[in-house]
Structure 1
Amino acid sequence: MAYQLKNEQLVIEIAEPGDYRGSRFDWNGFITDVTLLDGNHSYCVPESLVPGQGTGGAGLCNEFGIKEPIGYEDAPVGGAFPKLGVGLLTRPDDREYDFSRAYPIKPFATEIEMEGTRKITFRITPEDCRGYAVAVTKSVSIDENRLTVQYLLHNTGTKPILTEEYCHNFFGIDGYPIGPNYVLKFPFELFPWADEEETLAGLIFGKGDAGEVRWDHTPKDPFYFRLPGFDGNKYPWVWELLHHPSGAGVREISRFHVSAAAVWGIGHVVSPEMFIEVKLAPGEQKTWSRVYEFFTKPD
């Protein structure tokens, strides 16, 4: 069973926890589609257009601990470690953690509360794993043209928690391929870098206080670059994606310190990713929100 939020401006489709069964992305509040009724614009696309390729991402799906989940290093081979939003995963061998690898999963239990047609809340029950335990509450709500995803984490275990979270925003407006008709904007000067120089091919970076990224053609290969962290409280929004000539766009408002940022994509999708660091002593809580505005404006 899928869930839907709807008002006069937006329709949001949300998957049932367990429809996505991978060990990477949060199963809860997995947003598969966003429609802006003004112009009937759609925004969400899958990670890959090739069946079976990729890690099963689509739309707005977040992940905790992409580099290393909580407790992985001290988990014995055959033992469990928690992947927040997913469940207890099994460490099959002594290899380093790989986010793209499929791990055996014992899913966390989830309680779902639907509040009318404009808000849904997922409450994920923690399960102790060698002293690691985190209760996660995730709410998805809409107000006019804004979609808000709010997180509350509570360390109910006996060990400190250190992890990071980000949302993999798989956007491709109205299914149009990424290319010269798109522009990705940031409200600050860009200082991008990449571990592999070839992932910058075809990207055009504008200079100045308001940074822009454009494409001179539809990329056949993945592109990827990183940006330094920054304080999201300083800006009215942290990135904006606009498609010409439809005039449809989306921007993210994140009122927290962005510990790191990255942009990934390929010919059909672009995904700006804003990371937040999460540190919790036993008993501590942390809350934050991501707000998305969907809009149209003249070309």
Structure 2
Amino acid sequence: MPNRRIMTITLATISSTIAAGDATAITYPHTILNHGDNRVVVALPDPDKGYYRGKRFDWSGIITHWEKQGHTFAGELKKPHNPNKHDGAAGPVEEFDMQGNASFQEAQMGEEFYKIGVGILIKNNEKYQFFRRYKVSRLLPWKIQTTANSITFTQKLDNLRGWGWIYSKTLRWHEERKDTLQIMHTLTNTGSRALTTEHYNHSMFCLDDTPVGSSYRLTIPMATGFPLKPRAAEKVKVIPPNTLVFREPVLKGSFWTQVTIPDQAGGQRLDPLFVISVPQKGLQLEVAMDRPLS
């Protein structure tokens, strides 16, 4: 049976005084999804000219620019842009198996393993590392279908030592909710072996090209606490009950923090899962899920 998951992204603009970002000089293969006053640029997978050619993230459905009423909600978060770097992506980009999968663990050095959303790679170290530039054995092709308000990417693996799957991702404007884009996933096991995977969305949003720092607010409605480690506490502060604010601009590097979520929240629809805002500019972006966290 296929495994399905839907994520929704909703925008809100309180004011519209900021000049729009420049999305005219696009040099990579792409398509544009227009809906009302929303304009979304979606990069198309391409091994030679694609916006993203790294070996970490799913190549499909990468939103490189999202514009509404003179404001932008997605753009280049990592500058200067390097299409071959593992994190050279943008927008709500996604990854399968950040810690590696069974095909990697089973493979001997020099043998093949699969990466959903990318293709067949060559194992060259014992422990999987998402930032490593694994050599490509072969990229798995994409079938792309478009409608007036959606685009669907489909990739399949016929057989690799008994593993096989069909992966499909659709970006579609919500029929009833204004300014809301759905990201719909389907993964079907077509092989003779069990298919186990982990998946997450990196949410590389950038509002009005504002550098990540004290202008941003991150609110997680279901959170009951943020057990910050010393390094994280130096960079962010908590506004009770469930909002994080950066103390200073994040010029380079990264840090992690845990979030405390009640057990009973695991059975709830996450709407919203989290909210990113830049209050000074009247901008807000909400992300929701149709599945509980696992």
Report the TM-score range of the alignment, normalised by the length of the smaller protein. Answer: 0.7 to 0.9
What amino acid sits opposite 1:48 in the alignment? Answer: K
Pairwise CA distance, 1:112: 0.5
Name the counterpart of 1:164: 198
Pairwise CA distance, 1:124: 0.7
Pairwise CA distance, 1:75: 0.7
Question: Helix, strand or coil: the match of 2:161?
Answer: coil
Tell me how large the CA RMSD over aligned residues is: 2.0
What CA deviation, in whole Å up to 9, does each residue of 1:218-260 have, x standing for no partner?
A: 233423213356537344311001102111110101021212x
- Normalised by the size of structure 1, how large is the TM-score? 0.78
Query: Pairwise mapping of residues 109-258 of structure 1 onto structure 2 (< 5 A)?
Result: 109-116=141-148, 118-143=149-174, 144-193=178-227, 197-208=230-241, 211-221=242-252, 222-227=254-259, 230-231=265-266, 233-258=268-293
- Mapped partners of 1:87, 1:2: distance in 2: 20
Which structure's residues are more often strand, by fraction?
A: 1
Does residue 76 of structure 2 align to residue 46 of structure 1? yes
Q: Provide closer, same or farther for how the CA distance between residues 216 and 146 of structure 1 changes in structure 2, counting only shifts above 3 A.
A: same
Question: Helix, strand or coil: the match of 2:202?
Answer: strand
What CA deviation, in whole Å up to 9, does each residue of 1:130-163 have, x standing for no partner?
A: 1111100110111330011100000001111111
| Pairs aligned (count) | 252
Name the counterpart of 1:75: 107
Pairwise CA distance, 1:42: 0.6
- Mapped partners of 1:12, 1:243: distance in 2: 20
Name the counterpart of 1:14: 42
Q: Which has the higher contact order (CA 8 A, sep 6+)?
A: 2
- Unmatched segments (≥5 aa) in structure 1: 260-299
- Mapped partners of 1:242, 1:45: distance in 2: 15
Question: Helix, strand or coil: the match of 1:126?
Answer: strand
- Unmatched segments (≥5 aa) in structure 2: 1-28
Question: Helix, strand or coil: the match of 1:237?
Answer: strand
- Normalised by the size of structure 2, how large is the TM-score? 0.79
Name the counterpart of 1:272: none
What CA deviation, in whole Å up to 9, does each residue of 1:184-227 have, x standing for no partner?
A: 11112343346x6414422111333xx11012222334232133
* 8 A Cα contact 2:107 2:113, kept in partner: yes
- Mapped partners of 2:43, 2:97: distance in 1: 22
- Which of 180-189 and 10-19 deviates more? 180-189
Q: Tell me the percent identity.
A: 23
